[in-house]
Amino acid sequence: MIDWTNANYLPWLIPVPPLLAAALIFLVTNRSWWLTTTTALVATITSWVMATIMLLRAIGVAFGEALDGEAFGSTAPWMDLGSTQFQIGVLVDPLTTAMLFMVPLAILMIMIYSVGYMAHDPRRERFFGYMSLFAGAMLLLVVADNLLLLFIGWEVMGFCSYSLIGFWFEKESAHRAGVKAFMTTRVADVIMLLGIAYLYAETGTLSFREIFFNEALLAGLAAKPAIIFGGLSAAGLIGVFLVIGTIGKSAQFPLHVWLPDAMEGPTPVSAMIHAAAMVSAGVYMIIRMYPLLEAGADPHHGVYSAPLLLMAYVGAFTALFSAVIAVAQNDIKRVLAYSTISQLGFMMAALGIGAYIAAAFHLITHGIFKALLFMSSGAVIHAMEHGEHHAHEHGHHVHNAFGGHGRFDPQDMRNMGGLKGRIPVTWFGFLTGGLALAGFPLFTAGFWSKDEIFAEAWHLGFGEGFGPAMFVFVLLALAAFLTAFYTMRQLAMTFAGEPRTEAAAQASLGGPKTVVSTFMQGPLIVLGVAALVAGYIGVPQDFPLFGWLFSGNGNPFHDFVGGTLPHHPPTLAFNVVPVLFSFVVALGGLYVGYRVYWRRPLAAGQPDPTQLALDRISPYLWQWMSHKFYVDELYQRVFVQPSQWLSEVLTSKIIDRIVIDGILHTIAHVAGWIGELFKRFNRVVIDGVGDGIPQAIGAFAGWFRRVQTGNVQQYLLMAVLAALVIFLSAAGLLVRISPTTVLIALAALVVIIVVLNLIGRVWGGIAE
Amino acid sequence: MEITIELLVFLVFALLTLAGGLGVVLARNLFRAALLLLLSLFGVAGLFVLLAAPFLAAVQVLIYMGGITILIIFAVMLTRGMVRARNVFSEQWDLAAIVSLAFLALVVYLLWQLQQGSSAALFAAPPPEGGLENPIAALGAALVDPAQYMLPFEVASVLLAGALIGAIYIARDDEVE
Amino acid sequence: MVPLWMFLLVAAALFAIGLFGVLSRRNAVAILMGVELMLNAVNINLIAFWRYRTPDTMIGQAFAVFVFVVAAAEAAVGLALIVAIYRRRQSVAVEDVNLLKW
Amino acid sequence: MLRDALIQAGMNAGLATFLDILGGVLVAATFGMAWVLFGIWIERKVAARIQNRVGPNRVGPYGLIQNFADALKLLIKEVIVPRNADRPVYFLAPVLMVVSVILIAAVIPFSSVVIGTDLNIGLLYVLAVGSLGTLAVLMAGWGSNNKYALLGAFRAVAQLISYEVPMVLALLIPVMLAGSLSMQDLVRSQHVWFLFVAPIAAVLFLIAAHAENGRAPFDLLEAESELIAGYNIEYSGMAFAMFYLAEFMHAFFVAIVFSVLFLGGWRGPGAETYPILGMFYLGIKSMVVYFVTVWLRLTVPRVRIDHLLALNWKIMVPLALANVILTAFLFKLVPTPDYSAARAIAEGEFTGVASGLYRLLGPEFVAMLPLAGVLLVGNIALLVAAAALLRWLARRRRQEVEALVDETEYAPGVAAAE
């Protein structure tokens, strides 16, 4: 009997309630909205409570059982693989603990929020089913103790993201987006699976701790050349494969294209994908696998391995690249989507230069404030739709502020403005989330985590003089500046000034006591507070004043998460330069944005001032930015169209019709001619013989089949006879007399009876 | 062999059982066949009592006589057109008789052989004294004991439920809605 | 005292009688009755062996109980089938239900 | 008693049991038959009073001899046999009917020592024997070769078999509480009457047994207005009298069995010491129950066949099942009463109010009180829940019907105007 109060077994239970809830919702409760939400919420709350117990236990509050290099967890045999046995298990180490703080909290908030957001959707029950499954898969991924279990959660999430992004599948764009997300991540997943398989082939285990606490194994992997790409070591190749998996899952360049399109799903889904689950999973996996990626390298002393370099360059580039795109977007959720890509780029880059604790820290804080931002933006959209309805009812003609005559777009920031006083709670949420994203110094969570990345990059790049770190620092600084700028732009365009459309003027969440506003605003407040204070768990120890306030005994987050792996990373000495840098880029970006957008809010129909400024340099700049540098179009040209052309023209027309058909037709003609010859021969010779035999058999069978009378009793009689024979032989053995004569006599009797009966039947059949 | 009262009672019940059984298979009137089945089953219940299994005897009366036989009589009544059919036996009755007799002969022969041979002591021995103090309670406990017959017991209940539902479904008049 | 073989003999005879009924009667209900006889013969054997061999465990009685269950289930389903067939074909003679032939 | 003697004389235990039963049955049957003639007189008197009549008052004092006169009349009347009747079946049916009832008497404990035989499967025996009555009904219906009789028999069997289910389920409760199937054990374990420990089971049993007997309001087997007289239509003379007798005897035995199972049987002050008192107590208790059944019979109108079956399958069976589960659960929940400890307190030194209480009320009674209280509360809660559920269902059903009426826009005024 398993003792579930034992902390080693509790992690098994954490993913169970949502998975159970998903099954329940799909199979049982999906007719009742009330039951469905209750099921989903109860499951999520249960998970959250269990995760919190685990969390408290792990950090030793209230239970006095702190993790110290050790971990909670247990394993059970899963399947036998030849001589070895594959173990499945759960693991809660400090990194998992950190995730157990952020993930269940964000999931819970998203679930609560969804109750309000989806309250009027016709398929809301199904939505909760998918969401529960999604949550369960993410929790499974978090508590997994081996790469395969992690991969299972990973893939289930892939499926859920597909069905949730395409949730409103009546919309052409939505189902396309779903397929796109699925396909893009699939490409990466396949490569990742290759990596897993290679790892298993090399080591014979996929358990994290078995691999990472085995120095010899890692060294061996690093020394051994890979089976392909001769320049790489085995560890390097596996790492590169895994990193590519993450590039897909966490939407890094060049596989980032699915994420902005994922905005087609309902907003809670976006929050789920961007904050709590999907993209975090990618970075989480990398942090999990860090020792393997780092094998044979030492980024703190300027030795990089292939996967690290890949991450550093891709991450840094992605961070800047998508920040640039985000500046030119007008869709409120799309801006956030590119900011997510950009922030994930931060994490990847940090991982690439060896700052994996900083990356984990940023993952946690980003999860919180990005969930907050998405839910706020969802509230804004909801309010806009509400306003549009209202305006319609009162006979106003609703039109897009930028002169479009198509459908009114409630997500377009150009249609907003002046929402600050109309939806104050949302404003608070968006403001805190936005400031955290921009890294507003000292008082937001985003500042502290970003600052830690900067500090590491500065130290390694300019302090120690390592090239990749230098590159990372420069690009990230630029990206951070742009982040602050477009965040301010978004805040201003959405909330500041006067409403630019009738819908914005009428926007509201429908009264303070309604289901929608209650359930949507509650999580905003909780996460808003969290986005402000969550950063204080990771303040550097010698940071002036704040370090003394929050990190008297050392940086808690750094020390705690650092205990995940055998080698504790060094704590950096405080350096004022990168801190100033963060101050400058964050405040500078915010200030520029404030000058451009807030001081003189946009009027309806007025073009974007940044666009005007950039057009002075080159008219193409803004166009490229707002079209996301034409990556989608490029893929369309490079991958989609050629393959279509290939299938249509080359395969179908040339190979299929001309070559293959031609050969076949020729063969067919020849064969036809030969066949004609044979036919003649056939008719004369073979038919004579061939027809004769089957006719004889047929006649016999027609006569003989009458044995099959359809009379059950007769069959039974035969069965009993047979049983008698068997029984007889057994009996002969039993009594140990020489049974031969008896046996033969009775068998003969049986045979006679059977034959007699058969003859009688058959005769009777014929007589009929 | 010593003639005891017990033996006489046994003979009475055995006679009831076998005569009832013969009556069942030979009776032309199906309803009477059912009543004779009842008689035979009563004889079996008596044998159970002789075998110190009164609980099973009561269950036999309750389930077989009060339940299954009534079901059969019901079926007999519902298919009333067949009760007084002219030909009660099928064409193969002769073969059936031969086979059945062969079977009986074989078993009797076997029993005889065993009695003569290795199992003579077992066959002649009286039933052991003692046994369980409270067999009914023991049976009840055995049927719900996970270490003994709980699983078969549960399976049997599922089987019964399935049979019930199936019977209702099969026998339901399709025209009735 | 009644020796064991007597019970076995009665059971065998009852079984043979039931077997004959099953194999020879035309009416499906009568066949079912034959089956019941056979099941009872089995039960006699079970209980007799239980009494003479293993009276200190419950195995024989438990098996007999399961035979009861099976008999009840068989009777219910079988009779339902018979009634359904009779409703359709106005006959419960087994030779008349011989669609599945040739 | 007889059994022990026989076993000591060297007889097989099973056989001794059998003979014991046989002897018990002979005694009990005579007793039952004699009692019934008097019982019928009571019933007729009560019926008359309820219907504002006088009842039999001519033959003998207060008409006491009336029934003997009636019996004599039936005895000397001709037994008419329908021409196409299945004669053996026709004649066996009433006999089987009477036998099935009389056999019940064999295991009824009339007092602590007066009992036909104390089978260790007594209650099961009662059920098994009682189920044979169904067969008699079928035989009568078939043997008469009369369509009314056959239809009556069909109905009867449907009803009897159906009501056996809740009856058995209800009887599980006393068995569970006593931990035995023996009737004597059942009586002995009723330190608190099971009527108060398991009221739902008691009521269910009373209703089901009433239906088993086929008396009003469940007398569908012989509904005069529909089936003339049901399965016994063709019977006359003594054969009819036997059905008649069996029915009254059955009703009476139901009362006795109810008293035994739920009213403490022969228990009462002094009954252990003077067994004759026990018979007296049982007589009084069963007469009260008998009066209740007669009362029911005379005041409640006959139910429709579909209502009858619906009542059984949709209300009584689920309730009985729920009751079994609940009782089993509560029974396991409450610690088993410790009678020996209670007895020790009562017999030990007088130490105050507690031991006084034990002495005054009887140690077993006091020891059983907590269990009884919990089960009673559980029963009441279940009853309230069931009532609430039924009320809710009925209300919903009514709303559906009303909605249907609204939809069809039933308007009688319009038709009248046209």
Count of H-run helices and E-run strands, chain C: 3, 0
pLDDT tens digits along C60-102: 888 898 998 988 898 888 888 888 888 887 877 877 777 777 5
Report the pLDDT averaged over residues A140-156: 87
Q: Is residue A650 part of a domain?
A: yes
Of all residues in chain A, the percent with pLDDT exceeding 70 is 88
In degrees, rounded to 5, the angle at the alpha carbon of residue A198 between the alpha carbons of residues A193 and A199 is 95
Answer yes or no: is pLDDT of A327 > 90. no
Mutual orientation of helices D199-213 and D275-299 as an angle, nearest 10°? Answer: 70
More confident position, A32 or A509: A32
Chain A residues in contact with C100 by the CB 8 A cut-off are 710
Query: Using CA atoms, how far apart are residues A313 and A318, in angstroms rounded to an integer?
Result: 8
- DSSP, collapsed to helix, strand or coil, labels residue D303 as coil
Nearest to B70 among D17, D125, D135 (CB): D135
Confidence (pLDDT) at A67: 62
Tokens linked to C13 = 């005879």
Answer yes or no: is pLDDT of D354 > 50. yes
Q: Would you put residue D60 in left (φ > 0), alpha (ψ -120 to 50) or beta? A: left
Query: Using CA atoms, how far apart are residues A230 and B118, in angstroms rounded to an integer?
Result: 80
- DSSP, collapsed to helix, strand or coil, labels residue A738 as coil
- In angstroms, the separation between the Cα of residue A659 and the nearest Cα of chain C is 52
Q: Is residue A370 part of a domain?
A: no
Which candidate, D142, D133, D341, D308, places its Cα nearest to that of D218? D308
Chain B residues in contact with D313 by the CB 8 A cut-off are none
Confidence (pLDDT) at B15: 92
**In A328-444, which ranges are continuous DSSP H helix?**
332-352, 356-393, 424-438
Report the pLDDT averaged over residues D271-288: 82
Chain A residues in contact with B90 by the CB 8 A cut-off are 711, 713
Least CA distance to B61: which residue of chain D? D128
Residue A303 φ then ψ, to 5°? -105, 120
Distances (CA, A) of D413 to A63, A604, B52, D410: 79, 65, 76, 9
Which candidate, D87, D227, D261, places its Cα nearest to that of D154? D227
- In angstroms, the separation between the Cα of residue B177 and the nearest Cα of chain C is 16
Tally of structural domains, chain A: 2
Query: Using CA atoms, how far apart are residues A584 and D403, in angstroms rounded to an integer?
Result: 72
- In angstroms, the separation between the Cα of residue B55 and the nearest Cα of chain A is 33
Tokens linked to A85 = 């046995």
Hey, are the CB atoms on A716 and C99 less than 8 Å from each other?
A: no
Report the pLDDT averaged over residues A496-503: 78
Those residues whose C-beta lies under 8 Å from the C-beta of residue A684, and which sit 6 or more positions away, are none
Measured between CB atoms, does B49 come within 8 Å of chain D? yes
Residue A405, class by beta-carbon neighbours within 10 Å (0-12 exposed, 13-18 middle, 19+ buried)? exposed
Hey, are the CB atoms on A710 and C19 less than 8 Å from each other?
A: no
Chains B and C touch (3+ CB pairs under 8 A): yes
Answer yes or no: is pLDDT of D416 > 60. no
Selected residue of C23, C24, C31 to mutate for chain A interface (largest A Cβ count, 10 A): C23
Selected residue of D21, D84, D131, D212 to mutate for chain B interface (largest B Cβ count, 10 A): D131
Chain C residues in contact with B96 by the CB 8 A cut-off are 19-20, 23-24
Q: How many residues does chain C have?
A: 102
Nearest to A711 among C24, C31, C94 (CB): C94
Fold of B1-88: Four Helix Bundle (Hemerythrin (Met), subunit A) (1.20.120)
Compute and round to an integer the Cα radius of gyration of chain C. Answer: 17
For chain D, the average pLDDT equals 80
Chain B residues in contact with A735 by the CB 8 A cut-off are 110, 113-114, 117
Hey, are the CB atoms on A714 and B92 less than 8 Å from each other?
A: yes
Confidence (pLDDT) at A756: 66
Tokens linked to D332 = 């396991």
Confidence (pLDDT) at D184: 84
Which value does ipTM take for this structure?
Answer: 0.72
**In A571-686, which ranges are continuous DSSP H helix?**
576-593, 609-617, 619-626, 631-635, 641-645, 661-681
Answer yes or no: is pLDDT of B177 > 50. no
Say which range, A135-149, A266-280, A512-526, has the weakest mean pLDDT. Answer: A512-526
Residue recorded with tokens 């046999």: D81
A702 and A640 within one domain: yes
Those residues whose C-beta lies under 8 Å from the C-beta of residue C90, and which sit 6 or more positions away, are B81
Long-range contacts of A359-363 (CB under 8 A, 24+ apart): A359/A283, A359/A286, A359/A287, A359/A453, A360/A95, A360/A98, A360/A287, A360/A561, A361/A448, A361/A449, A361/A452, A361/A538, A361/A557, A361/A558, A361/A561, A362/A449, A362/A450, A362/A452, A362/A453, A363/A102, A363/A280, A363/A283, A363/A284, A363/A287
pLDDT tens digits along B19-74: 999 999 888 888 888 888 988 998 999 999 888 888 888 888 888 887 888 888 88
More confident position, D296 or D20: D296
Nearest to C23 among A708, A709, A713 (CB): A713
End-to-end Cα separation, chain B, in angstroms = 66
Report the pLDDT averaged over residues D354-359: 74
Answer yes or no: is pLDDT of D204 > 80. yes
Host H or E run for residue A90 = strand A84-92
Nearest to C27 among B85, B148, B164 (CB): B85
Query: Using CA atoms, how far apart are residues A490 and A380, in angstroms rounded to an integer?
Result: 12
A254 preceded by cis ω (within 30°)? yes
Those residues whose C-beta lies under 8 Å from the C-beta of residue D227, and which sit 6 or more positions away, are D148, D151, D152, D155, D221, D233
Q: Where are the domains of chain D?
A: 77-315, 334-418
Which candidate, D175, D173, D136, places its Cα nearest to that of D152? D136
Selected residue of D7, D104, D135, D157 to mutate for chain B interface (largest B Cβ count, 10 A): D135
Query: Using CA atoms, how far apart are residues B97 and B74, in angstroms rounded to an integer?
Result: 28
Q: How many residues does chain A have?
A: 768
Answer yes or no: is pLDDT of A239 > 80. yes
Nearest to C100 among A705, A710, A717 (CB): A710
* Structural domain for A688, as ranges: 633-706
Confidence (pLDDT) at C37: 92
Chains D and B touch (3+ CB pairs under 8 A): yes
Output the DSSP codes for A656-687: IIIIIHHHHHHHHHHHHHHHHHHHHHIIIIIH
Host H or E run for residue A87 = strand A84-92
Say which range, A68-77, A678-687, D205-214, D232-241, has the weakest mean pLDDT. Answer: A68-77
Count CA atoms within 13 Å of residue D330 on its CB side.
22
Answer yes or no: is pLDDT of A50 > 90. no
Hey, are the CB atoms on B128 and C55 less than 8 Å from each other?
A: yes
Residue type at B161?
Answer: A
More confident position, A170 or D232: A170
Chains A and D touch (3+ CB pairs under 8 A): no
Which candidate, D181, C51, C44, places its Cα nearest to that of B131? C51
Which candidate, C8, C41, C43, C52, places its Cα nearest to that of B111? C8
Answer yes or no: is pLDDT of A1 > 50. no
Chain D residues in contact with B176 by the CB 8 A cut-off are none
Least CA distance to B104: which residue of chain A? A724
D217 preceded by cis ω (within 30°)? yes
Pairing of strands A72-81, A84-92: antiparallel
- DSSP, collapsed to helix, strand or coil, labels residue A214 as coil
Distances (CA, A) of D62 to A571, D50, D245: 113, 17, 21
pLDDT tens digits along B117-155: 777 777 777 777 766 777 788 888 888 888 888 888 888
DSSP state of A422: T
Hey, are the CB atoms on B131 and C91 less than 8 Å from each other?
A: no
Chains C and A touch (3+ CB pairs under 8 A): yes
pLDDT tens digits along D106-157: 788 877 776 766 777 888 888 888 888 888 888 888 878 777 788 778 777 7
Domain end point (choices A688, A706, A724): A706
pLDDT tens digits along A556-593: 777 777 777 767 677 777 777 888 888 888 888 888 88
Nearest to B122 among C4, C72, C92 (CB): C4
Nearest to D13 among B32, B52, B58 (CB): B52
- In angstroms, the separation between the Cα of residue D143 and the nearest Cα of chain B is 9
Report the pLDDT averaged over residues D312-333: 88
Answer yes or no: is pLDDT of A309 > 80. yes
Q: Check if the beta carbon of residue A150 is closer than 8 Å to that of residue A90.
A: no
Residue type at A120?
Answer: H
Q: Is residue A490 part of a domain?
A: no
Report the pLDDT averaged over residues C16-31: 89
